[in-house]
Chains A and B, each alone.
Chain A
Amino acid sequence: MDWSFMTEYAPLFAESARITVMIGGIGTLLALVTGLICAWIMYFRIPLLRQIAAVYTELSRNTPLIVQLFFLYFGLPKAGVVLSSELCGIIGLTFLGGSYMAESFYAALKTVSVSQIESAESLGLSRYQTMRYTVIPQAARAAVPPLCANVIFLLKETSVFSAVSLADLMFTAKDLIGMYYNTTEILIMLAAFYLLILLPVSVLFSLLERRMNRGRI
């Protein structure tokens, strides 16, 4: 084990970890927004938009991220749409994550039973009030565990970005292996940095879930 090599290149890994977290974070946030919009459309059965959302979720859920990225990065420029690799990464992650988020949110909204909504209506609550005070507080609690799982899933998926030459952790590792052949050290660093990103997120989420479940009957 070559420790001096590892300390020498740790800053480079840290820099690419920053890129991984940044692009992953932006993509996850946009996926969250996309998911909320799609879940809303599916829940209220808005005509036409609902069909579009259904086609989108099926296309997104049944294809791998790397194929989506290849299409965006290598295919679209031939149709005149040139995207930077960062933009490709963000769009790809949003496209993939949006459907996962949508399904989780939709399932969460569905857990609120009809009797709750009917009770709210019979109390004279407006449609807005029903959503605001009855449905959303209950659905939010049900949405937390799948939401956390989705965020971790999406952060892990960012490792594919290196295939469209985004300088993330994976890319740096590949680059260094090609230059120095210190395969063992580089791979250990790679795994360690992913754990450094994902472990705190995972611990944070399990604490959050425990907190959400407190006082539940």
Chain B
Amino acid sequence: MEGYEVIFAGSNFIRLLSGLWVTVRISLISIGFSLIFGFIVGIAMTGRSPLIKALCRVYLEIVRMIPQLVWLFIMYFGVTRMTGLNLSGEAASVIVFTIWGAAETADLVRSAFQSVPVHQFESGRALGLSQFQLYFFVILPQAVKNLFPNIINLATRMIKTTALISLIGVTEVLKVGKQVIDANRYDAPDAALWVYGAIFLMYFAVCFPLSLLSRRLTERKE
């Protein structure tokens, strides 16, 4: 059997796709949680309390400074051992990517809110809007326009980073690829070239449309 035939032999292609779906699903769940927590932290960062600002800053810097793979290890091997919790690889990944994604989202939200001119805040207050009304009806609609392309960019980054979860034992596309290669070790010795090439293109097929969308939105804004 030729190497490239392995990709489509039997149910291999479906298995690779379902492996890819594991990655995408974990990213989607993490992105959802990140948006929720990121917005809360981001709005807190635009507030007036210097203590909260400082705490958020420290959280952001620590999360960003240490590589995501190290965080995955800390969550999957370290925290589980220290607390006696039994976390699956997928749960550990979702927690890590949410903590990281929320930090990144918060920073994007902060800069988007700060890009709204001060007179918008002042006009809102002058009209007698409450804090909630001010943020919800005046600031948020303007901030979201700046925010959207950046959030999509972040989503692409998160999908790419999710490729790391095979290293803490989650059966995603790279792991499935390895299984396929190992199963065909004798029939198709050069399968690794084709299978890893296919996975490379699969990631590209997921991330490229998102990158394009983000670029279009940025261009339209300008």
Contact = CB atoms under 8 A, between A and B. Distances in A.
Contact of B193 (A76, A158, A183, A191): A76
Interface residues of A, number: 38
Interface stretch (B76-84, B90-98, B133-141): B76-84
Interface string A173-189: 11001000001100100
Interface of A: 58-59, 61-64, 66-68, 70-71, 74-79, 156-160, 162-163, 170, 173-174, 177, 183-184, 187, 190-191, 194-195, 198-199, 202
A187 B77 CA distance: 9
Interface string B48-77: 000000000000000001111110011001
A177 B65 contact: no
Given A63-B160, A195-B65, A78 B204 contact: no
A199 B65 CA distance: 7
Interface of B: 3, 65-70, 73-74, 77-78, 81-82, 156, 160-161, 163-164, 166-167, 174, 177, 181, 189-197, 199-200, 203-204, 207-208, 211
Contact of B67 (A70, A163, A194): A194
A76 B3 CA distance: 13
Contacts of B66: 156, 191, 194-195, 198
Contacts of A59: 204
Contact of A71 (B181, B191, B196): B196
Given A159-B69, A184-B78, 14 more contacts: A58-B211, A62-B208, A62-B211, A66-B164, A67-B163, A70-B174, A70-B177, A77-B192, A156-B68, A159-B67, A173-B73, A183-B78, A191-B74, A195-B66
